[in-house]
Structure 1
Amino acid sequence: MSDILNSAIAKVQSSRHAFCRFITANDTGKNGSHQAGFYIPKCAALLLFDKPGTKGENKSKLVKVKWQDDFVTDSRFIYYGQGTRNEYRITRFGKNFPFFEEENVGDLLIIAQESDDYYHGFVLQTDQEIDDFFAYFNLSPEMTNQLIDISQPISSEEQVHIRIQEVVSSYTDFPGTIQMAQLARDLYNNIHNITNTEISKNPDLQLLKWIDTEYCLFRGFEEKIYAPIYSKPFANCQELVQFSNAILNRRKSRAGKSLEHHLATIFTAAQLRFEEQVITENNKKPDFIFPSGEAYHNLSFPTDKLVFLGAKTTCKDRWRQVLNEANRIDIKYLFTLQQGISRNQLQEMKHEHLKLVVPEAYKSFFDKEFQPEIKTLGSFITMVKSKQ
């Protein structure tokens, strides 16, 4: 882990309150927004003030924020409650503040409160750092834009909590990634009476709900399986480091694979024909080929009926990995949970004939000019159906 990432984790752990969210085009002003500073949702008001703001009144306070363990800004926390406004913002970063650039779209912003008027701010810029941060606190991209639950309770929904405990109690070790994803889907679907019809009607929402449920389920398994280990002293520092690395590696491995499993279930519910991990040129293995590997390798099969889809939880650095995974298919689609990416990166993707697919709720986080090029999961499924 980098020094910045280690420090961000430590500051969040010791904070009174901590918050994270992806930097969007609105923050950098690239969507024509003239709002100043970073928007903070009302659910995270306690990060800024002891008490939430009162509608009809503005209030503010001056604070110091130390960024990247390097420089300090004399910033302002403000609640706008007068007129039609009802929002919180962090403002006053100085003229040379480095994180309002176009290239910061899609970076992860982290704010941690040390005292009433002193805070720490971090911006994580690589997929690896973001994944490691999420893994450490067992977060998913859907769990951003809110206070970080440092205590990491299993679930706030009592019914889900009880069901998770029932599931976990019947296991002595972690299930495989396929089974873990299936357990989460079954748990959520049974509680909320979700059918294949409902999945097909709103695939974007169902995917995010499954991902959240799986994170809660995974926490339950961690507590059961790891508690007997960490409740006893470690013989030496090396044993502690090895144990910590094993936890983080398991978290990261599960997160990437579970996304593919959930997508496959959605495609099956939508009655799409597809195949996973088809071997293509140079022994590459695309995540999904529609309709099949046989069709891909049949040179008489119409190329315009073939569809490629990669799947990556974050893609700021990794999107180029899919470009040469299926040479017969010119346009590559990439599903991601990334919430925003820079204009330059989007232009590069367009030049390389790569199109993003994101959950419908995430589409507005991208530059307005490129939003028409970005598909939701629902519109992607409709497109594939039209070819089949």
Structure 2
Amino acid sequence: MKGKLKMSYDIHVSISEAELVYCKFLSANDVGLTGGHQSGPYVAKSAVSILFDKPCSKGTNITKTVEIKWHDDSKTISNFKYYGTGTRNEYRITSFGRGFPHFRTSNIGSLFILCKMDLETYRGYVIEEETEIDAFLDYYGLSPAETNALLTVNDSISVETQVQQFLDQITGDFPSSAEIALKARSVFETMPQRGNLADSDMMLINWLKHEYLLFKEIEKKFNQDILEVKFQSIDAFINRANSVLNRRKSRAGKSLENHLAEIFRRNALRFVDQGITEQNKRPDFLFPDEGTYWDAVSTFDYENLAMLASKTTCKDRWRQILTEADKIEVKHLFTLQQGISANQLNEMKNQKVQLVVPKQYISTYPMAYRDWIWDLSKFISFIKEKQND
């Protein structure tokens, strides 16, 4: 436990001192499981500034050598690579030395954090345990949908006019998760670049990202005084800080549930959230409703039932859903987790858990399992077929 606490402390210190910070979930591609040219994390094009001063030009291959100090105090002389010749157009970090322990297949689904300390010096962290990953995401108010990007800690964001109007209208308590989710959806859907609103997978990701930005602005409005006032005691400061962190912690999970429920409503699916099953268990979503679940008495009746658990991350905690609905043989699990190891996926299949992820994230999973994993649109079609029979 002491080692974990030190690592957590070191991460927060590095982030506070860093010029730029990037985080992402390690995918099968990142650990070389797909048979690529070299193993090592891909870096999103939107985060190129953590690697190079400016975006690289297509038609060139560029290498920059840096020193990375890792959380176990080891150091690597690694390369930032841009591959731009032929059909390739990608950024990657390579060269970690033989036997490097942090980018193995068992690390798929772990959270990788890269901190740029100066031009040629970096700090790297790989968080493996799900509880520690959740603690990091909670601390910075993130959901997995907001990773694979530069981490903004103190930067302001531009606010749309209607968002500013929403902020100006807030006079009482901090808005509820449902209120923030609703406003985020309405803002997104007025944007000219909103894309295809019939694409449930893309729409969910966009809603989550816009809600995160809105939440950060609301949080700034409510907590600006923390930077300006003097607290009367350490306890008073800690109580206020805990209030902020607890709100961040509860946001991500509720946010995902709120937006999934709205997508189901727009697709005219019959469902109930937090319906009660055996032993007072409460699946996140029960289809079609609680009454039908309890009335089902035969295998034929059971075929009309379905459940969906939603977890922002599920690297280890997916087993929690196995006992949530005894009458439903195959449990469906939706997650924003980007990448899970082949061993965990095989366990899920054996336990009759069907994984559902946003379409855009399927490519982060081991190749052998990508055809098995469902996207959100496929799950919606599955429920529609059940309810239209």
TM-score of Structure 1 vs Structure 2, range by shorter chain: over 0.9
SS in 1 for 2:114: strand
Q: Which residue of 1 aligns with 2:217?
A: 220
Structure 1 distance, partners of 2:89, 2:262, is 40
Deviation at 1:246, TM superposition (A): 1.5
The answer to whether the 8 Å contact 1:137/1:152 transfers is no
Deviation at 1:108, TM superposition (A): 0.9
Residue of 270, 278, 298 corresponding to 2:295: 298
The answer to whether the 8 Å contact 2:139/2:249 transfers is no
1:288 and 2:291 aligned: no
Deviation at 1:76, TM superposition (A): 1.7
User: Where do 1:191-270 residues align within 5 Å?
Assistant: 191-192=191-192, 199=197, 201-270=198-267
Structure 2 distance, partners of 1:192, 1:241, is 43
1:226-270 CA-partner distances (Å, limit 9, x unpaired): 112332122333333332222111011011112111111111110
Q: Which residue of 2 aligns with 1:44?
A: 47
The AA in structure 2 aligned to 1:55 is K
Structure 2 distance, partners of 1:233, 1:352, is 54
Going from structure 1 to structure 2, the CA distance change for 1:283 and 1:152 (only over 3 Å counts) comes to: farther
1:179 and 2:179 aligned: yes
**TM-score scaled by length of structure 2:** 0.92
User: Where do 1:24-39 residues align within 5 Å?
Assistant: 24-39=27-42
Q: How many residues align?
A: 381
Structure 1 distance, partners of 2:49, 2:247, is 32
Moved more, 325-334 or 96-105: 96-105
Structure 2 distance, partners of 1:36, 1:25, is 10
The AA in structure 1 aligned to 2:51 is L
Moved more, 221-230 or 247-256: 221-230
Q: Which residue of 2 aligns with 1:102?
A: 105
Structure 2 distance, partners of 1:369, 1:289, is 30
1:182-229 CA-partner distances (Å, limit 9, x unpaired): 22222222445989xx64x21111111111111111112111111123
Structure 2 distance, partners of 1:61, 1:193, is 35
The AA in structure 2 aligned to 1:316 is K
SS in 1 for 2:160: helix
Residue of 23, 40, 58 corresponding to 1:20: 23
Going from structure 1 to structure 2, the CA distance change for 1:188 and 1:56 (only over 3 Å counts) comes to: closer
Structure 1 gaps of 5+ residues are none
The answer to whether the 8 Å contact 2:141/2:251 transfers is no
Identity between Structure 1 and Structure 2 (%): 44
The AA in structure 1 aligned to 2:7 is I
Structure 1 distance, partners of 2:102, 2:150, is 21
Going from structure 1 to structure 2, the CA distance change for 1:219 and 1:73 (only over 3 Å counts) comes to: same
Structure 1 distance, partners of 2:307, 2:162, is 37
Structure 2 distance, partners of 1:38, 1:312, is 24
Structure 2 distance, partners of 1:358, 1:55, is 32
Q: Which residue of 2 aligns with 1:7?
A: 10
User: Where do 1:275-354 residues align within 5 Å?
Assistant: 275-300=272-297, 302-354=301-353
Q: Which residue of 1 aligns with 2:93?
A: 90
Q: Which residue of 1 aligns with 2:358?
A: 359
Going from structure 1 to structure 2, the CA distance change for 1:373 and 1:86 (only over 3 Å counts) comes to: closer
Going from structure 1 to structure 2, the CA distance change for 1:277 and 1:85 (only over 3 Å counts) comes to: closer
Deviation at 1:74, TM superposition (A): 1.6
The answer to whether the 8 Å contact 1:314/1:338 transfers is yes
1:165 and 2:168 aligned: no
The answer to whether the 8 Å contact 1:127/1:315 transfers is yes
Structure 2 distance, partners of 1:239, 1:383, is 51
Q: Which residue of 1 aligns with 2:368?
A: 369
1:262-293 CA-partner distances (Å, limit 9, x unpaired): 11111111011111111111110111111111
The answer to whether the 8 Å contact 1:57/1:80 transfers is yes
Deviation at 1:29, TM superposition (A): 2.1
The answer to whether the 8 Å contact 2:141/2:252 transfers is no
The AA in structure 2 aligned to 1:130 is I
The AA in structure 1 aligned to 2:183 is L
SS in 1 for 2:29: helix
RMSD: 2.0
SS in 2 for 1:21: strand
SS in 2 for 1:115: coil
1:104-128 CA-partner distances (Å, limit 9, x unpaired): 1111111001122211000112333
Going from structure 1 to structure 2, the CA distance change for 1:144 and 1:194 (only over 3 Å counts) comes to: closer
Structure 1 distance, partners of 2:44, 2:296, is 52
Structure 2 distance, partners of 1:128, 1:150, is 21
Going from structure 1 to structure 2, the CA distance change for 1:152 and 1:216 (only over 3 Å counts) comes to: same
The AA in structure 1 aligned to 2:28 is A
Structure 1 distance, partners of 2:130, 2:77, is 29
Structure 2 distance, partners of 1:194, 1:21, is 24
Moved more, 253-262 or 80-89: 80-89
1:139 and 2:139 aligned: no
